[in-house]
Each structure stands twice: as structure tokens, then as C-alpha cells.
Structure 1
Amino acid sequence: MASHRARRVILWTALPVLALVLLVAFWSWAWFIPLIERQASAALGRPVTIGELDVDFGGVTRISLGDVRVANPEGYSEEPPLAAIPRLSVDVSVWDFIRTRRLIIPEITLDRPAVNLIARAEGDNNYTFGGGKTETPAEPQQDAEPFLEIGALRVREGQVQARLAPLRADMRLLVNTREAEGQSPSLHVAADGTYAAQPIRGTLEGGAVLSLRDPNNPWPVKLDLANGPTRVAAEGTVRDPLRFAGADIRLDFSGPDARLLTPLTGVPIPQTPAYRLRGQLDYADGAVRFTNLRGELGRSDIAGDIAVTPRQPRPVVNAALRSRRVDLGDLAGFIGQAPEGRPESRGSRNRVLPDTPVDLPRLQAADIHLIYDAAQIRGQAMPLDDMHAKLDIVDGAIALHPLRFGVGRGRIEGEFDFAPAKEGGLSAKGQVNFQRVDLSRLMGVTPLGEGQGAIGGSARIETRGRSLAEMLGRGDGALTLGMAGGNLSALLVDISGLQLGNAILSALGLPTRTKVQCFVADMALQRGVVRSKTLLIDTDSSIISGRGDIDLRNERLDYALRTESKHFTVGSLPTDILIGGTFSNPNVRPEMLELGARGGAAIGLGIIALPLAILPTIQLGVGEDNRCEELVRRAR
């Protein structure tokens, strides 16, 4: 009986020992590979395979994986996969997990990882997990202590190949960590290829990857990038970059056209002349801010602040910009015209009015709120003094409330609304008010002489089209201007009536001015054609009237001015002055039939008797004319 009990004890003792010995003798961590593959595949939503698994137990346990491959989603080729890592080592602090229930990974090492990123024009990609569509990440919990803490990350001979059709990019990134003696490994990335269909080359030097999750240890970064002719340099620090808790970076942009920055910034920018912008980049309150901006844009200076808040479906851009001195030619891109000096600035068909189609997808790429002030407008042929504009673009609809220019003691102020039209392009409504606009400023930039007075009036337009030229060429509206009192250069008045003797005296400075009783212009815009309803200038000696059309669609002029003397005049050949041709090549000439008849009569009479030659040049005068006065009274 005792021997039977002893055998049972020996048997129940020996079997576990034997099992343990056999387990140790034949143990393989490869038994756990299928379990890990299933868990990883379920988490990533695509097949994950592992070739080898090894675990080295200790207070800090090292888990080593070999031949790790993360497959592409369905619809993409199997080779190359999204990621292939010949060797991946992860150190896990077991004791810290037991004490704090937090997963602390002191070190991750990747040997020769190869990542293949693909984004197709249809909008899908192989690197967004959970269906391949880009989703907005949830806001991180800033105050919650993270469950996962990563220390040092080492990457040896890493390579990323990115083919991103929406960005017109095909580039390769070489990723390595570098270690200086006594320091943690720092990140180094070199880029080469194309981005936005432009060659791209650049380097990124980061700080120690050990500090990526340390909010109290800002992560240094230095970037040098060339994308085509655009140069970008950045140097500074990023706080807690994995959660992007803040930044303090000096940024420097330069290039021949700020429009080329649109793919890099995600913010739609119109065409500009050569520029250089410098400022401070930071992050606060959920917005990326470009503050203390200063620089040059063509012949203009620019300063201010820009903030970009990432939101769905569009980012929001808030900007407050200002210039001490601005050349409006540098801002021509904002109305669809190339900046002054560019070979394409006259338009594709040698047009004067900008005919570049409005890029609606670009307008709908972001919601923009911009305030711009220019203290001085420069340019010899520019009658404007200063400028203020408030621009809002929301879902492609544009509100320009107001656009204001100072002209001497007066101003020109307009409000415009644009919205996407069903048939394409934009529908537009606009109203402009002229408030005591200084005539001397307007006349001073023309070859027509000088003048003084204050012009008031208004204009309105309603139209649709794909470009500014098309909108003006299809518009309906009106223009009304008036001036009571003032004076004009007598040379302008005399030449308009071909009063040759007075014109010569005026050119010599005698007399220099003629008084203006009143000026009234009443124009109607009908389907792109400006039709003159009334144009009268009542001076102390003459009545100037105008009639005709200005075709904005075809950019042609068909207008006539006529001056009739109020009083008895000798040495005048009264005839129409015809203004014709195109906007780009106008011509001004007298009406030849009437001028020829009067000139011929003068010559014929001169042959008979020289004193009779002056008869065709005599105007008896129309006397005082109260048409202009009546129109002004009615307008008031």
C-alpha cells in the first residue's frame, strides 16, 4: 500500500517536471506569431505578417520581430507593401508597467524600414487605416496622462517612397537617426523628387526623439527646402510634437510667385510678383499662426499676422495685413490679372481687362477673412492715396465690404458680393459711391491738363461670368457722376472744340483755367455696353456734350465729344472729336467730313478774299444753357 502511494507521488511529481523540461527543450516563440498577426491585422484593418519573434526577458524586456510586413488595402497591388521592416526591436519596461499600469517603451529600433505611400486622384490612399479615407483626428486629451510613453526611436537606413497624385508629388525620403557622443539619437530626413509638379529637395534636422513626448523639453527643428524656385527655411522648436502642443519657429519664404506656396501651405494664394516674407511661426488655441510677418512683395512692403485653423470641411484663415507703401500693380493677381511686368499681364488675347478665369475650387479650398490697409499708394499714374479692404470668402462666396480708396479729401468706396453661379463662374453685385473725389488728383495723372473740383456720384453693376472681363462684358448697371463748380484746363476745353487760337494761348499758359458751372455724366450699362444717356460739361464759355458707346465685351470705343461756344468766337472749327479704336489702341481724331467742309470753305473764301476765310470759323454762340443746372437740381 505504501509502495503504491509512493509511485503515485513520484508520478504526479515527475510528470510536471517532465512537461516543463520538454517545454523548455522545444519552446518556440513562433507559436505566438499567428496570435500577434491576428491582433495586429484586426487593429490596422489589413493583413500583417511576421517572419520571426524573439523575447529576451528581464526588467526591461526586449521583443524582436523579423520580416514584418504591413500589406496594402484591397484595390492596391501586393508589391511593394505599405511597410516592410526587416528588423524591429521594442524594449518594454516590465517593472514600470507593474507599478504604474503604464506602458513605457524606453527604445524602439527599426532597421532598414521601407514605407510605400500611395494617394490616388480618386481620393483614396493606402496609408489611412480604417477604410482608406482621410478622417479628422480627435482632439487629444491634453490633461490626461498618456497610457503609452515612447523614449528613444532609432531608425537605420529608413526609406519612404511617396507617390501622391492629389499633390502631384513623387518623392523619396531617406530617414536616419544620428547619435552624438553622450546625446540621444536625433532625427535626420533628406527629401528628393517632385512636389506640386516641381522639383523638391530638402533636409530636416530634428532633436532627440527621446523628447518627442516631453512637454517641458521643446524639440528643436531645422528645415531647408527648395520646391522649384520657392525657398523655405525654418528654425526653432516644437513643444510636444506628437500632440503639436506649440511651436516657436523663425520662418523665411522667398520665390518669384507666392502662388507657388499654395501646395505647401494649403491656403489659396493668387499670383504675385517676386517676394520674400519673414516671420514667427507658432501654434496656439488650435491655430497655426504666422506672426510679426514682414517682407517685400514686388515693389510693395507688407506686414501683419496670419492664422490658419484646421477645420472640416475647410480650414479657416484669418489675416490682418498692412503696407506702408503699396504699388497696386503688385496686387493685380487678386482680380485675375498678372502682376505688372509679367509677359502675360496683357491677357491671353491682348486684352486690357483681366480675362483669367476664376478658380472656383481654389476659392472653396479655405474660408478666408482678410483685412488689408495700405497707408500710401505709389505710382506716377495713380490718383489714389490710400486703401482699406475687408474680404471674406466662405464656401466660395466672396464679400468685399468695403473696398475703399482715398482720393485727396474724398474717397471712392464700394461693396461687392460674389457667389458661385449655377451655370459656372460667379454671379456678382456691386455698388460704388464717389464722395467728394478730388478732380485735381484724377486730372493730374492724365495728359488732358489740370482741374479742380469735387466729384460725387454712384455706380452699380449686376452680372455673372468666369473672369473680370467676362463679368464686365455681360453686366447691367449704371454710372452717375456730377460736379457743381470747379475749373478745368482751358487747353482741354479748347482742343475738344478745335479752337486753335485759344488752344495755342492755353498751351502758352493764357488762360490756364476755365470755370466749370457743373458736370453731369449719366451712363447706362446694358449687357456689357456703356451707353451715354447724358454727358454735359457747362463751363463759363462753352458747353461740352458727349454721346456714344463703350463696348466692354469687345473692348472697343465709339464715342464723340462736341464743344459749342456760348459766345461769339472767331478762329474756331466746331466739329465732333471722335474717340474710337480698342482699349489697348485707342485713337482720337476730329470728324473729318465736317472738318473738311469747314476747312474747304475757309480756303475757298480765302481765295476770293482773304478776310472772308474766317467766316467758317465764326461761332455766334448758343447763349447760356441751363440743361446741366437743371440736371444737377433734379439730382439734388
Structure 2
Amino acid sequence: MAQNGTSPKAPPKRPVRRVLTATAGGMAILLVLLILLWNWDWFVPLVNRRASAALHRPVTIAHLHVRLGLTTTVSVDDLQIHQPEGFDSEKELFASAKKATVSVNVWRYITHKGLEIPLIALDTPKGDIVALANGKNNYSFTDPNAKPEPAPQGNTQPSTLPKIGDVVITNGDIRIAIAKLKTDMHVLLHTTPPKGDQDGSIVIDLKGRYAQAPITGHIVGGSLLTLTNSTRPYPIDARLENGPTYVTLRGSVDDPLHFKGTKLVLHFAGPDMSLLYGLTGIPIPQTPSYSVSGNLDYTSAHIRFSNFSGKMGSSDIGGTIAVDPQTKPITVDANLYSHHVDLKDLGGFIGAKPGHEESKQAATSNRILPDKPINVPKLNAVNAHLVYKGDRIENKDMPLDNILADIAVQDGAITINKLNFAVGDGTLGLSGALDPAKNGQFDTHFKVDVSRLSIQRLMKATATFKGQGTLGGHITLAATGNSIATLLGNGNGGVTLVVDHGGDVSALLPDLMGLKIGSAILSALGIPTRSDLKCFIADMPLRQGILSTNSLLLMTNNTRTLGGGTVNLKNETLDYHVTTRSTSFNVLSLPGRVNITGPLKSPTIMPGAEIIGRAAATAGLAVAFPPAVLLPTIQFGVGQGSACEDALTQANTAPAAGVKPGATTGSGAASVQPTPHGKAVSQKPLSRKQVHSVWQERLKKQN
């Protein structure tokens, strides 16, 4: 104790401060040393493990670089993503890059302003995208052993896309091999930097095979920064060649990530539109060569190729096609037109070869019915509604004026609501349906309505026919098959056709039959060269592909010809005969029975025993007693009778087609008749009773 009574002094605090200062200085030095000596590669094993677990395949990086800051940049060197299980045979890695760099605005993210990625840079990225024929692929990043997660309940908000800045790609090469698409091609891509006022761009080149055909392409698009900019249109300039098909696409897309609209012009050309199936997924029948241009627009709900026009073969083609890709199968709505159409260009739509040149097989085959199968899998790939109008049919071999078609495809079934051809004041109309059956077959039913067809108009192409008259009636067919040939070869139905006052039969019959046998038949029958057709009735039922004869009558001003026999549409052969008789006294005539047999395309025409006997007798008498040569050629006539009336009555009572001809020859429709002074007056349609009365009057006059 101090003597003066005062307390002792406290020990000085300087040593404590020194200790704290030394400790802080040491930690600062250690932190500086740690920053100077820190190696981010220490985290490489952890990154490899985490990335491999997330992608369900081995992932490795050689080096990791991190530059911290409000905008943090992460780079990896020698990135390698290996193939997943089941793709060990692939020679290349699933993905790789010499270097990959990503910058992230951390401050913006932690302040809840959204994710911003100012930079993505890939140096020599490579990829190997593969899908096998069994549906297995190497680009699904899911655990093959994991159970599927339940579907989310309630309304889910769509994820917000990050704001992306600059994207730099150098020497990219992505291989895409899709077995089902028969595709194995390389996508080569790189970016270009901005130059002055010009933005940067992404350049893509394609090479390889797509849909079994070689493909090359060159695509230049705006920078990927522009791709995410909703206020600036994204430019596109693309050129593709897939086999013989050539496609160009130029224009711009408004806010492409949100499908706001486009200003694109699409042009495509090639030898056959059916080859577009691989590019569009829309089945199109075979066509001749084409070249078409139009406006392409798309939203999230539809793709429209509108106001297009061009050529298809020798026909022009235009209209609008709308596609809804969200439905399964996709939905197509096409409204097409042609100002001038050649029907041969549409041959592929009925299974025939389109265009004007016959194939070598068609030229050497004895078959004339198209036997190309209807492609059921392609029909199932789309639900479609097609309306087509051809204003003028340009074809010297076809006596048709225009065409109007309304056809629907739904779940593989085809419904022909309307397929009408105009012929002068008359129409040739078809309706029916094809419903899918087993083994690629179709259950079908069709009806053809022939109404008020002018015989003179039908024969316009020959430039040899004179006279008046109309053709009317019906044709029906119900069958199961997969082509025109099999449908007719298995079909049931019938043909009921009537012609009144047809004009010059020598010009009419050869061309109307269209089988290159008409002239030979007329010659064999002994029908005079300038006979006027008074009446023609064909009433022929079809049973299991065999067309038989209820009535076949052709009457001229001095002959009456009856037909009988069958036409086998299964093997396209004829076993038919026609017999002619004079209806009045006639000299220098050798009429009788003529047999028509053999292939439908080129049948054999042989005179019957009566004609041969008369010809032989004529030749013998010419030698023995020349004046007697006329005796075998003299016919005294069988009398006109009521053959035409009876045949018409039978056709109206029990028509082979199942539908009465009624007023289809023109008597029952409003028509224009000349007055004695040459002026035309309109007549109102007649009733069926009146039609029958008119027919009877006509028959009385000709008898």
C-alpha cells in the first residue's frame, strides 16, 4: 500500500493495441496473399461433379476463371460434355468448347430487377445431336431412372427470359442426326461484330443430308442481341437447297421471341411439290415443276403463307395457306385458285402421274387405270380443308371450262364435298368420301352427276362434230381399295347415261369412247359416215368390278345398235359385242354382230359370223354373177319399233346407277330456245312428268 494513501497506477494499454494491430495486419497480409495466390481451379472437381449430376452424363472442365464484381464473369477452358448412356458408339462428344465465358449482372439480380447476361462467348463450340429410330435421343437431360414428376396444379406463370447482351460465337459446328427425318447434317455458325452503323450478325451454313436429300444453306440473321429486342425488327436472309428444292426467305420478324408478326417474303421452287413434305410436314400430292412466291407470317397460333402466286407446270397457282402447328395433327386451311389451269398438272391428286409426259411404265403397260396407292400415313399427318377454283381450263384434249373443288381431310378420312367441272351450260359433278379401313385400304362411296352436258361442247376438241344434243345421267361407286384401279376393280354401283339427238355419230362415238376403237367399231358395224345420232342410252350395273349391261342402245337416222357383254375392271379387259340393224330398206350394207375382246387399252375387234357370211357371199357372187353382188347387202329393216322408249323407261324405272337420269339431259333445266324470228326466250324448268312426255314426243317423231 502506498504510504501517501493513493492507489497504484493502471498498467499501460499499449501492448494490447499492438497485438490487435499486428493481428489485423497479419490477416490483411494473409487476405492479400490469398487473393494473389488463389486458384479457382481448386473448384474444378466440385464443378465437374455437380455438372455431371445435373446433366446425367460426364462433364469435365480443365480450368475455371472467375472475375468478381457487380458484373461477375465466369470462364471455363476445355469444356467437354460426354455422351449419355446408350450412345457410347458415337465418335464425338455430345458438346465441347475450347472456352466458354458468361457474364452475369449480380447486382441487378440481387435487387430483384431480373436476370441480365451481358455476355455469352463460345470459342469453337461443337455438338453432336442424335435421335435414334426408336425415339431415344441424347439431348434429353433427364435421369432415365427417375419417376416422372406430377403435372403442376393450377395456373403456372411462364418463366421470364433473361436479358441477353452480346453473344459471340467463333467456329461453331453442330452435327444434327435425326433418324426418323433421315437427316444427318452439320450446322456451321459464327457471329460477326458491329461495323459502324451496321449491327452484328449471326451466320449459319448448312451441309449434309436432310430428308434423304442433300442440303446446303446460307442464313444470315441479325445479332442475337437484336433477337431479344422487342422494339427492333430482326432481319433474316436465308437460302436453302434441299435436293432439287430451292427456298429463299427474306425480310424481318417483329419481336420473334413473342411472335408479334413478320414482313417476310418466301420463294420456293422445284420439280415436285411432294418433295416439300420433309421441309413443311404437310403432305402434298405429286405435281409438275413449280415456282411460287408469297408473304410468310406467323404468330404463336398460326403460320400463314398468303397472297402467293406462281406457276405449277403450265398452270398458274395462287392463294393462301394457313397452318395451325399447335394441333395434333397439324391443321391446314388452303384457299387456292388458278386463272388458267391444265388438268394434267393436277394428275397427282388422283394418283396419276402429273404433267404431259407418260412414264415408261405407263407407256408399256396394258393398264389404263391409275394404280398408285393413296398414302395413308401422310394423310394422317394433317387435318386439312382445301378449296380450289380454276377459272379456265386450258387443255385441247379436255372439253371442260372450269373447276371448283371443296375437299376435307380429317383423321385420315377424305371427304369430297364438291368437285365440279363446267362444260358449257352443263356440269360434271363428283361427291363422295374415303374412310380409312384395315391394311391401308379405304371404304369409299362416290356419285358423279352428269347434267345438261352439250354434246357439241364435249366434241369441240375434235373440230369434226356438228349437231345438237345433251348428255345426262349418273355414275355411282361403292368400294374398298387404296387406288383408283383397286376401287373400280372391287366396286359396286352403276352407270346410267342418256343422250338425245347427239348429232354426227361418226364424229361422236370414236372420241366419246376415248379408247381408240370407235372408228373401227363404226366401220365394222357398217354405220354410214354421216349418220345423225337420234338416241343413246347406257344403263350398266357394276358388281364386284364387273360392268355388265342392262341396256346399251345407239340409234341413228337409219340404224339401231344394241350392245351386250361385260367390262372387267379388275383386269381391265372386255368381253363385249354390239349388233347393228337397219331400221329401213338399205342396200350396200353389211351390218351384224361385232365382238370386242381383250385388254381395255387395245382390244381386238372381230366381225361376227353373220358379217363374215355376208362378206363371203358377196365375194362369191361377184365372181359368179356380178349383178348378184348386191343381194347379200340388202336389208329390209327390222322396223323402228319402240326400242329407245323402252330403254329409257327401263333406265328411269330401275337405273343401274341407282339414280334416275331424270332431267339431267337438259329438258328439266331452264334453257334458251330460239323463236321462229331468231330471238331467244327463256323457258321454265319442266317437271319429271313433263320431261317424260317430252321424251315420248321425241321418240314418236324419230319413229
What's the TM-score once normalised by structure 1's chain length?
Answer: 0.89
Match of 2:427 among 392, 406, 411: 411
Q: Confirm or deny: 8 A CA contact 2:248 2:268 kept in the other structure.
A: yes
Worse-superposed segment, 10-19 or 404-413: 10-19
In the alignment, structure 1 residue 568 sits paired with structure 2 residue 585: yes
The answer for the alignment partner of 1:181 in structure 2 is 195
Shift of 1:7: 9.3
Q: Any idea what SS the aligned residue of 2:168 has? A: strand
The answer for the alignment partner of 1:29 in structure 2 is 40
- Provide the C-alpha distance between the structure 1 equivalents of 2:329 and 2:632, rounded to a whole number of angstroms: 73
Worse-superposed segment, 335-344 or 616-625: 335-344
Q: Confirm or deny: 8 A CA contact 2:441 2:482 kept in the other structure.
A: yes
In the alignment, structure 1 residue 59 sits paired with structure 2 residue 70: yes
Cα deviation 1:177-226 (Å, max 9, x = unaligned) = 11242344310111111222222222111112211111221111111122
Match of 1:353 among 360, 369, 372: 369
Match of 1:237 among 238, 252, 256: 252
Worse-superposed segment, 436-445 or 331-340: 436-445
- Provide the C-alpha distance between the structure 1 equivalents of 2:30 and 2:52, rounded to a whole number of angstroms: 33
Shift of 1:630: 3.0
Q: Confirm or deny: 8 A CA contact 1:337 1:345 kept in the other structure.
A: no
Between structure 1 and structure 2, the one with the greater Rg is: 2
Shift of 1:410: 0.9
Q: Confirm or deny: 8 A CA contact 2:506 2:522 kept in the other structure.
A: no
- Provide the C-alpha distance between the structure 1 equivalents of 2:450 and 2:369, rounded to a whole number of angstroms: 22
Q: Confirm or deny: 8 A CA contact 2:264 2:297 kept in the other structure.
A: yes
In the alignment, structure 1 residue 70 sits paired with structure 2 residue 89: no
The answer for the alignment partner of 2:136 in structure 1 is 124
Shift of 1:417: 1.0
The answer for the alignment partner of 1:509 in structure 2 is none
In the alignment, structure 1 residue 49 sits paired with structure 2 residue 49: no
Worse-superposed segment, 325-334 or 542-551: 542-551
The answer for the alignment partner of 2:692 in structure 1 is none
Worse-superposed segment, 365-374 or 177-186: 177-186
Q: How does 1:359-398 map to 2 (within 5 A)?
A: 359-398=375-414
Q: What residue identity is the alignment partner of 1:437? A: L
Q: How does 1:329-344 map to 2 (within 5 A)?
A: 329-339=344-354, 340-344=356-360
In the alignment, structure 1 residue 171 sits paired with structure 2 residue 185: yes
Give the direction of change, closer, same or farther, for the CA distance of 1:246–1:145 in structure 2 (3 Å limit): farther
Shift of 1:74: 2.3
The answer for the alignment partner of 1:190 in structure 2 is 205
Any stretches of 5+ residues in structure 2 without a counterpart?
1-9, 145-151, 510-518, 653-661, 663-703
The answer for the alignment partner of 1:514 in structure 2 is 532
Q: How does 1:451-466 map to 2 (within 5 A)?
A: 451-466=467-482
Match of 1:443 among 459, 462, 477: 459
In the alignment, structure 1 residue 296 sits paired with structure 2 residue 285: no
Q: Confirm or deny: 8 A CA contact 2:96 2:127 kept in the other structure.
A: yes
Q: What residue identity is the alignment partner of 2:445? A: K
Query: How many residues were matched structurally?
Result: 620
The answer for the alignment partner of 1:94 in structure 2 is 106
Give the direction of change, closer, same or farther, for the CA distance of 1:567–1:557 in structure 2 (3 Å limit): same
Cα deviation 1:71-104 (Å, max 9, x = unaligned) = 3332112752221122111122233334452111
Q: Any idea what SS the aligned residue of 2:439 has? A: coil
- Provide the C-alpha distance between the structure 2 equivalents of 1:347 and 1:170, rounded to a whole number of angstroms: 38
Q: Confirm or deny: 8 A CA contact 2:459 2:508 kept in the other structure.
A: no
- Provide the C-alpha distance between the structure 2 equivalents of 1:486 and 1:582, rounded to a whole number of angstroms: 28
The answer for the alignment partner of 2:163 in structure 1 is 149
- Provide the C-alpha distance between the structure 2 equivalents of 1:295 and 1:112, rounded to a whole number of angstroms: 42
Give the direction of change, closer, same or farther, for the CA distance of 1:188–1:460 in structure 2 (3 Å limit): same
- Provide the C-alpha distance between the structure 2 equivalents of 1:365 and 1:383, rounded to a whole number of angstroms: 36
Give the direction of change, closer, same or farther, for the CA distance of 1:473–1:160 in structure 2 (3 Å limit): same
Q: What residue identity is the alignment partner of 2:311? A: E
Q: What residue identity is the alignment partner of 1:528? A: G
The answer for the alignment partner of 1:272 in structure 2 is 287
Shift of 1:306: 0.9
The answer for the alignment partner of 2:240 in structure 1 is 225
Q: What residue identity is the alignment partner of 1:377? A: I
- Provide the C-alpha distance between the structure 1 equivalents of 2:410 and 2:171, rounded to a whole number of angstroms: 45
The answer for the alignment partner of 2:643 in structure 1 is 627
Q: What residue identity is the alignment partner of 2:68? A: F
Q: What residue identity is the alignment partner of 1:92? A: V
Q: Confirm or deny: 8 A CA contact 1:497 1:572 kept in the other structure.
A: no
Give the direction of change, closer, same or farther, for the CA distance of 1:394–1:263 in structure 2 (3 Å limit): same
Worse-superposed segment, 39-48 or 171-180: 39-48
Worse-superposed segment, 597-606 or 155-164: 597-606
Shift of 1:355: 1.4
Give the direction of change, closer, same or farther, for the CA distance of 1:37–1:241 in structure 2 (3 Å limit): farther
Q: Any idea what SS the aligned residue of 2:284 has? A: coil
Shift of 1:579: 3.2
The answer for the alignment partner of 1:541 in structure 2 is 558
Q: Any idea what SS the aligned residue of 1:548 has? A: strand
Shift of 1:388: 0.9
Q: Confirm or deny: 8 A CA contact 1:184 1:210 kept in the other structure.
A: no
- Provide the C-alpha distance between the structure 1 equivalents of 2:176 and 2:159, rounded to a whole number of angstroms: 34
Cα deviation 1:8-61 (Å, max 9, x = unaligned) = 984996597687567546644345556655665565454443333222123332
- Provide the C-alpha distance between the structure 1 equivalents of 2:418 and 2:230, rounded to a whole number of angstroms: 44
Shift of 1:474: 1.6
Q: Confirm or deny: 8 A CA contact 1:473 1:552 kept in the other structure.
A: yes
Q: Confirm or deny: 8 A CA contact 1:347 1:355 kept in the other structure.
A: no
Shift of 1:442: 2.7
What's the TM-score once normalised by structure 2's chain length?
Answer: 0.81
Give the direction of change, closer, same or farther, for the CA distance of 1:285–1:630 in structure 2 (3 Å limit): farther
Q: Confirm or deny: 8 A CA contact 1:347 1:356 kept in the other structure.
A: no
The answer for the alignment partner of 1:555 in structure 2 is 572
Shift of 1:150: 1.0
Q: Any idea what SS the aligned residue of 1:380 has? A: coil
- Provide the C-alpha distance between the structure 2 equivalents of 1:497 and 1:468, rounded to a whole number of angstroms: 30
Structure 1: which 4+ aligned runs deviate by more than 6 Å?
1-5, 491-495, 499-502
The answer for the alignment partner of 2:447 in structure 1 is 431
Give the direction of change, closer, same or farther, for the CA distance of 1:495–1:242 in structure 2 (3 Å limit): closer
Q: Any idea what SS the aligned residue of 1:414 has? A: strand
Q: Confirm or deny: 8 A CA contact 1:550 1:556 kept in the other structure.
A: yes
Shift of 1:519: 2.5
Q: Any idea what SS the aligned residue of 2:377 has? A: helix
Q: What residue identity is the alignment partner of 1:247? A: T
Shift of 1:284: 3.3
- Provide the C-alpha distance between the structure 2 equivalents of 1:501 and 1:332, rounded to a whole number of angstroms: 38
Q: Confirm or deny: 8 A CA contact 1:575 1:590 kept in the other structure.
A: no
Q: Confirm or deny: 8 A CA contact 2:259 2:299 kept in the other structure.
A: no
- Provide the C-alpha distance between the structure 2 equivalents of 1:462 and 1:22, rounded to a whole number of angstroms: 93
- Provide the C-alpha distance between the structure 1 equivalents of 2:53 and 2:210, rounded to a whole number of angstroms: 34
Q: What residue identity is the alignment partner of 1:503? A: P
Q: Confirm or deny: 8 A CA contact 1:337 1:347 kept in the other structure.
A: no
The structure with more strand, counted as a fraction of residues: 1
Q: Any idea what SS the aligned residue of 2:180 has? A: helix
Cα deviation 1:207-259 (Å, max 9, x = unaligned) = 12211111221111111122222211111112233444432211111111122
- Provide the C-alpha distance between the structure 2 equivalents of 1:127 and 1:528, rounded to a whole number of angstroms: 54
Cα deviation 1:594-613 (Å, max 9, x = unaligned) = 22210122233344443322
Q: What residue identity is the alignment partner of 1:239? A: D
- Provide the C-alpha distance between the structure 2 equivalents of 1:491 and 1:614, rounded to a whole number of angstroms: 28
C-alpha root-mean-square deviation of aligned residues, in Å?
A: 3.2
Q: What residue identity is the alignment partner of 1:165? A: A
